[in-house]
Amino acid sequence: MENAEAPALAGKVVIVTGAGRGIGREIALLAATEGASVVVNDVGAATDGAGSSAAPAEEVVELIRAAGGTAVANFDSVADPVAAAAIVETALTAFGRLDGVVNNAGILRDAIFHKMSVADFEAVIRVHLLGSFYVSHAAARIFREQESGAFVHFTSTSGLIGNVGQANYAAAKLGLVGLSKSIALDMARFGVRSNCVSPFAWSRMIGTIPAETDDEKARVARLQAMGPEKIAPLCAFLLGDASRDVTGQIFAVRMNEIFLMGQSRPVRSVHRSEGWTCRSLADHAIPALRPAFYPLDRSGDIFSWDPI
């Protein structure tokens, strides 16, 4: 009889933020199935960040333990640096080490730009971008000392490509790309990896998307067919030793499709030996560059075919 395949995360300790529901829940469950001890972090808030409840995180921990896995719940908010450090401390107290962090926690407060409040912009930035920084920063010292570790940050095509009514979310998610790449560059010498995942999956947050027009209803119907469990395998892989040479990348997952997303590089250039004026820019530079301009695409314009 052939030996069973070894669990991908045997002996690892990982933190998954926002793990009480949706994508985070599926990542936590799969990580435990693959042998990891999991810190299931979730404040149990509504999609806009209001309220709190211990029930979602506790339920996931119970499921993991019932299946023979190892997990502890944590209810601290990623949006506060002291609380974020306490999430990391939970891993050390419960399991004595830390090997991976999945920055999945998030909220949505969508509004068209001119109607978006300062409070709603700052709240989304605080959870997604600052929260990912706070947790990662608290874990970075541990990873440096042990010369190993993996970060998985959740970005979005709202930032990578664009969407209407999500300036706060898009800014945070594109900011995460820069954060991840900087971590990858700064910590490569210590054997630490950092990657981004952009998910297509139905979740509570996606459930807040307006569905009034026929196009919007069709888009929501497509998303409803994509379960959050489809996102988990790539994340578990990126936490494991098999991905030791994968860092600084951006992946998108849509059903059974995995995309390697592009990163900003020069597309076209113009040169004028005497320098530029407003007139020569209008007459020469912009006409030469215009064929390579990006249109005002939204995520759905680029991913226009049905998921596979």
Residues 106, 91 contacting (CB under 8 angstroms): no
What does each C-alpha distance from 224 to 53, 144, 203, 255 come to in angstroms?
25, 40, 8, 11
Catalytic residue among 143, 151, 154, 169: 169
| DSSP state letter for 34 | T
State the distance between the two ends of the chain, measured CA to CA, in whole angstroms. 35
Residues ≥6 apart with Cβ < 8 Å to 218: none
Give the contacts of 308 (CB within 8 A, at least 6 positions apart). 254, 255, 256, 257
Q: Tell me the one-letter amino acid at 103.
A: N
294 included as an active-site residue:
no
Contact indicator for 190, 143 with CB cutoff of 8 Å: yes
The Cα–Cα gap between 41 and 87 comes to 7
Cα–Cα distance measured from residue 119 to residue 29, given in angstroms and rounded to the nearest whole number:
34
User: Residue 14 and residue 17: Cα distance in Å, rounded?
Assistant: 10
> Helix, strand or coil for residue 15?
strand
Give catalytic residue positions: 169
